[in-house]
A and B are shown apart, each in its own frame.
Chain A
């Protein structure tokens, strides 16, 4: 740190100039960004050129078909359209449909050009859209002048509607042409010209991407993913089904046949096989994928519906069996519960496998197919060896009693509150008198105190 007292200053800007020169690097960086932007513009230009080429093709086809135009006439007409577009500041894509319309009506290129000029003048003079006017002009040329007369009432008594309109409106389009619009159109045309050079390169690039082996490569990857997921899911499902069948064949055989378990598994395998088949046997992936998604959704909907039916059937059957056995042999109830839960476990395991498949499909479809099947809850029958109160509810409650080896009394509590009932007596102040008053009020309303109060 120093203290500096200036006595005389000098001016020398060479250092600053040098520093500014150093910004050349920055300019290069800005140049790089400009190149990136230019790439974006080139793609836009290619799009414009593509649209322009399509529009030209349509008009050419129309001229050849309707007006028997030669290639020279088509080229001349295209030049006319371009000139008109630049002079009037109207994009050529707006002119070509009108030209097509007039070619259809007049069957003559020159006459179509005359009608186009009339249309543009009339549109500029009236402020009506060029499309509306061109339709009316085309109708007028064909003999139906009412639309044009409605638009231009001054033609009501005209003998030569189009001739009078042309005289009336001549030169309006050129006068109304906006210099900025002209500039924009010129820029658009320039863009299309640039795009016409870029488009072949892009087309070639797309051709490369669409080569069979590139497509096959993508298809193979997808097939492998789907096949792997399917294999894992099928293996899990089969193991689960085998476990269930091995443990409970004697009881479940009838039920499984009835509810169509096998059908569900077969359906899942069929759906997976269908997906694999669709992925491998099609030539264009996008279409295949769309169809596959639709088919799979249908399959899954069917499975989900079937599963709901199965669940309902199981519930009814198990409830019936449970009610039949519970009153006779507690041992069998315990066994039944284990059995039911064993089945539930097996089914839930199977559902886990199914959900794995669905998760795989969700991943493969990037979340567009999102399905999930809920698992069924475990059965838990209440044990009452130590006594207890079962509160009423619709359909009653299945219980296990006497499982501790000693006798138990099962007494209905008809009209009684029972020990477990809660009696609410509200005292709003910590005052002994208030407590007494509240108890008295309860006795008045209910006849007596609950027996538990006497203990």
Chain B
């Protein structure tokens, strides 16, 4: 999917506010509304219970990585961000975030290169010093188990077909408001 990029959104928002207070809010609301069905699809795709027993909250009473710990496992938010980045000029304007850490881990499990892991990690900072630790086979086992239960890579496949459509619609919304500004300026 080629990136669909819009330009000068900040300028547009500034002009919208100048044109009529509340127009920006309306534009964001419309854009988010288009993304809502997509987000809803993602929500449905997220397993309602922990895919592996090790992820159950009762097995991780104090950890933050239990299924649904801290925030619901199926929490999905739509974000409209106009902020800039110091690293790249192209950044997401509208994006859907799956915010639960364990859900994200389960989703991305097995998406890597799956190359043979090092036996010991590289050195890293730890409690004011530096250390390294042995790499266990826990992760590999988790991935294998998730794959065997088809409990990984569930977010993107759920929305893959609707992404282009949603993107075009959001772009139309942006264009609509941009036209409003242009008309006013003309």
Contacts and interface: CB of A to CB of B under 8 A. Distances in A.
A18 to B, nearest CB: 6
Contacts of A10: 5-7, 9, 82, 90-93
B104 A8 contact: no
B108 interface: yes
Interface residues of B, number: 45
Given A10-B9, A10-B82, A11-B5, A5 B167 contact: no
A5 B92 CA distance: 9
Contact of A18 (B6, B86, B93, B107): B86
17 contacts: A1-B101, A3-B97, A3-B104, A4-B96, A4-B97, A5-B96, A6-B94, A7-B163, A9-B90, A9-B91, A10-B6, A10-B9, A10-B92, A11-B8, A15-B84, A15-B86, A18-B84
Nearest to A6: B92
A1 B86 CA distance: 21
Interface in A5-64: 5-16, 18-19
Interface band, chain A: 10 to 19
Nearest to B77: A2
B42 A5 contact: yes
Contacts of B174: 8
Interface string A321-332: 000000000000
A3 to B, nearest CB: 4
A5 B159 contact: yes
Interface string B61-90: 000000000000000000000101111111
B96 to A, nearest CB: 4
A90 B163 CA distance: 74
B73 to A, nearest CB: 12
Identify the interface centre among A1, A9, A13, A19: most chain B CB within 10 Å of its CB: A9
Nearest to B108: A3
A4 B90 contact: no
Interface in B130-186: 155-156, 159, 163, 166-167, 170-171, 174
A12 B96 contact: no
Contacts of B31: 8
Contacts of B52: none
Contacts of A15: 84-87, 89
Contacts of B6: 8-11
Q: Which 4 A-B pairs have the closest CB atoms?
A: A15-B84, A3-B98, A13-B89, A10-B93
A16 B94 CA distance: 20
B122 interface: no
Interface in B1-54: 3-10, 31, 34-35, 38, 42
A1 B82 CA distance: 21
Contact of A4 (B4, B88, B92): B92
B10 to A, nearest CB: 6
Given A2-B104, A6-B92, A15-B87, 12 more contacts: A2-B97, A5-B96, A6-B95, A7-B93, A7-B94, A9-B5, A10-B93, A11-B5, A12-B8, A14-B10, A15-B85, A16-B86
A1 B106 CA distance: 11
Given A15-B84, A15-B85, A8 B171 contact: yes
B167 A8 contact: yes
B95 A19 contact: no
A433 B66 CA distance: 87
Nearest to B9: A10
Identify the interface centre among A4, A6, A7, A8: most chain B CB within 10 Å of its CB: A7
Given A1-B101, A1-B105, A12-B10, A7 B170 contact: yes
B86 A4 contact: no
A15 B88 CA distance: 8
B155 to A, nearest CB: 5
Contacts of B59: none
Interface string A67-89: 00000000000000000000000
Contacts of A9: 3-6, 90-93
Contacts of A12: 8-10, 82, 84-85, 89, 91
B155 A3 contact: yes
Contacts of B90: 9-11
Contacts of A13: 89
Given A12-B10, A15-B86, A18-B86, A5 B163 contact: yes
B88 A7 contact: no
A2 B70 CA distance: 14
Contacts of B163: 5, 7
A371 B143 CA distance: 75
Nearest to B11: A12
Contacts of B9: 10, 12
A8 B163 CA distance: 9
B60 interface: no
Contacts of B89: 11-13, 15-16
Nearest to A13: B89
Contacts of A4: 92, 95-98
Nearest to A16: B89
Interface in A230-267: none
B99 interface: yes
A216 to B, nearest CB: 54
